[in-house]
């Protein structure tokens, strides 16, 4: 974080100082885990369902924290008050602090020799993290860039990402997630984007939203939250997204396969490893792209990243070269590992909804081809509300249509995948149901053989990422 006095932090958060001089300087990282504290940093004592950060305030100060952001008095073991900025709501104060820091950085960026800071916000029901990773690598090739680790995209993760920026930051790439109306309004109030990217309105979190139109309304908040001259980057292939153009305060840039899209891909082709090559077209120019990511669906994510990069000043050659050099950065996101025993594991277990599940299964079919056996290990897709059974049933039917060689359905919540496969025409041992992760692991240990291509896919809360880790490590070989 940029250096701030305790008084400045208190003013930004509406807090009062306890055991802390107003001129005391806080200049280190802002963290929520006491084990991550750096000398001179700020420890944010977030209350949690199972763990309360206030209980670790003393340990944070012992490790060098200059101050604690807390909602109640905290003290050392001997009763000495800890240096604290006392606030009414720690989570809200964290957002307020990030907002103030970004305002200061934007002012500094406009001064002579400033960084010309640009903020990009990315949302969508699927593809946010991959697009964020691609864009961060594009931006990082031309200037200092800050982007979220993993999927820090909520009311805690976004402020923490903003607070990592400093006066040298040229690009701040932010992933913005929402599970209800008003969530993106809150995030864009903290960090109003110069460029907002909307990928797709899909079936993720339907249980929380209550319907697809509510999802669209929530995603549109990132466009409404743009700076007055901000640019909206919209998916031309999704009518609900393209309709958001009327909400944009400034220019609109579209991407996709639609004939009128400003950024398009042509001549898309997949190699034997499932990686796509294509020609990107924008502004009357074209350039070749050869993605390192597995799955044709990443072409769409690459176009979104390209459109955003062009909107913040990169040229097409920089974009094409950057996309061709970009790697998958976040764990459990179509992470492909060739094991020594000849088994290939595709770990895409960080999250799942019907759209991403379909894309991953299609990628599995391409990667396995006709020579190798495709194995899908599938868990529950969470937060689908009254669409849960229908959505899982449809995935089971798709498994059969794609001729997946073996499907292991894990957990009772995903049972409808097996039912859908059976209704579509599966029989025998092509689709099996495992009650839990341990059962699935034992089954795979006996069943997998050299040459198999294994996809692991579920929502994070279903826990299949643990099985993904074990398979990658060869534990279940």
Residue 2 burial (CB count, 10 A): 15
Q: Which residues contact 263 (CB under 8 A, 6 or more apart)?
A: 253, 254, 255, 256, 280, 281, 282, 303, 306, 307, 310
Q: Which of 276, 280, 288 is nearest to 359 (CA)?
A: 276
Residue 470 burial (CB count, 10 A): 18
130 marked as binding residue: yes
405 marked as binding residue: no
Cα–Cα–Cα angle for 45, 75, 155, rounded to 5 degrees: 10
Write the CA distances from 222 to 174, 212, 409, integer angstroms.
11, 17, 36
Quote the tokens at residue 395.
């995935």
Longest distance between any two alpha carbons in the chain, whole Å: 73
Residue 333 to residue 42: CA distance in whole angstroms = 31
5 marked as binding residue: no
124 marked as binding residue: yes
CA dihedral 231, 304, 350, 456 (to 10 degrees): 170
129 marked as binding residue: yes
Write the CA distances from 466 to 77, 149, 171, 377, 476, integer angstroms.
38, 19, 34, 12, 11
- Torsion angles phi and psi, residue 52, rounded to 5: -110, 120
Q: How long a stretch of residues is the chain?
A: 477
115 marked as binding residue: no
411 marked as binding residue: no
- Alpha helices (H) along 38-89: 57-62
| C-alpha 85, offset from chain centre | 31
Q: Which residues are annotated as a binding site for ATP?
A: 124-130
Binding site as annotated, residues:
124-130
């Amino acid at each position: 974080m940029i250096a701030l006095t305790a008084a400045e932090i208190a003013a930004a958060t509406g807090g009062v100082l306890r055991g802390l001089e107003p001129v005391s300087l806080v200049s280190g990282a802002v963290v929520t885990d006491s084990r991550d504290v750096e000398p001179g940093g700020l420890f944010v004592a977030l209350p949690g369902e199972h763990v309360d950060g206030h209980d670790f305030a003393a340990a944070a100060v012992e490790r060098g924290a200059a101050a604690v952001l807390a909602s109640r008095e905290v003290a050392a073991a001997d009763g000495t008050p800890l240096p604290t900025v006392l606030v009414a709501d720690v989570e809200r104060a964290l957002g307020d602090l990030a907002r103030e820091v970004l305002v200061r950085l934007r002012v500094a960026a406009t001064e002579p020799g400033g960084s010309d800071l640009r903020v990009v916000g990315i949302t969508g029901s699927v593809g946010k993290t991959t697009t964020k990773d691609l864009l961060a690598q594009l931006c990082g090739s031309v200037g200092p860039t800050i982007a979220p680790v993993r999927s820090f995209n909520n009311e805690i993760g976004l402020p923490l990402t903003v607070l990592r920026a400093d006066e040298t930051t040229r690009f701040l790439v932010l992933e913005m997630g929402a599970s209800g109306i008003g969530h993106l309004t809150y995030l864009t109030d903290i960090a109003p984007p110069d460029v907002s990217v909307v990928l797709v309105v899909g079936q993720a979190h339907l249980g929380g939203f209550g319907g697809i139109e509510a999802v669209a309304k929530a995603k549109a908040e990132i466009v409404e939250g743009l700076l007055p001259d901000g640019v909206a980057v919209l998916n031309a292939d999704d009518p609900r997204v393209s309709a958001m153009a009327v909400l944009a305060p400034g220019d609109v840039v579209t991407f996709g396969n639609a004939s009128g899209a400003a950024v398009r891909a042509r001549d898309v082709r997949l190699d034997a490893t499932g990686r796509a090559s294509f020609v990107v077209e924008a502004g009357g120019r074209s350039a070749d792209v050869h993605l390192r990511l597995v799955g044709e669906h990443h072409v769409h994510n690459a176009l979104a990243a390209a459109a955003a990069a062009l909107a913040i000043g990169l040229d097409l050659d920089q974009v094409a070269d950057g996309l061709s050099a970009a790697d998958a950065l976040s764990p459990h996101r179509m992470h492909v590992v060739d094991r020594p025993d000849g088994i290939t594991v595709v770990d895409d277990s960080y999250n799942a909804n019907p759209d991403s599940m379909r894309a991953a299964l299609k990628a599995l079919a391409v990667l396995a081809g006709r020579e190798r056996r495709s194995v899908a290990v599938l868990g529950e897709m969470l937060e689908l509300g009254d669409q849960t059974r229908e959505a899982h049933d449809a995935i089971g039917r798709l498994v059969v249509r794609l001729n997946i060689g073996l499907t292991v359905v894990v957990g009772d919540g995903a049972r409808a995948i097996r039912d859908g496969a059976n209704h579509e025409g599966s029989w025998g041992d092509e689709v099996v149901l495992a009650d839990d992760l341990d059962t699935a692991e034992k089954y795979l240990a006996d069943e997998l053989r050299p040459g198999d291509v294994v996809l692991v896919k579920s929502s994070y809360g279903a826990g299949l990422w643990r099985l993904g880790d074990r398979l990658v490590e060869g534990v279940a070989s």
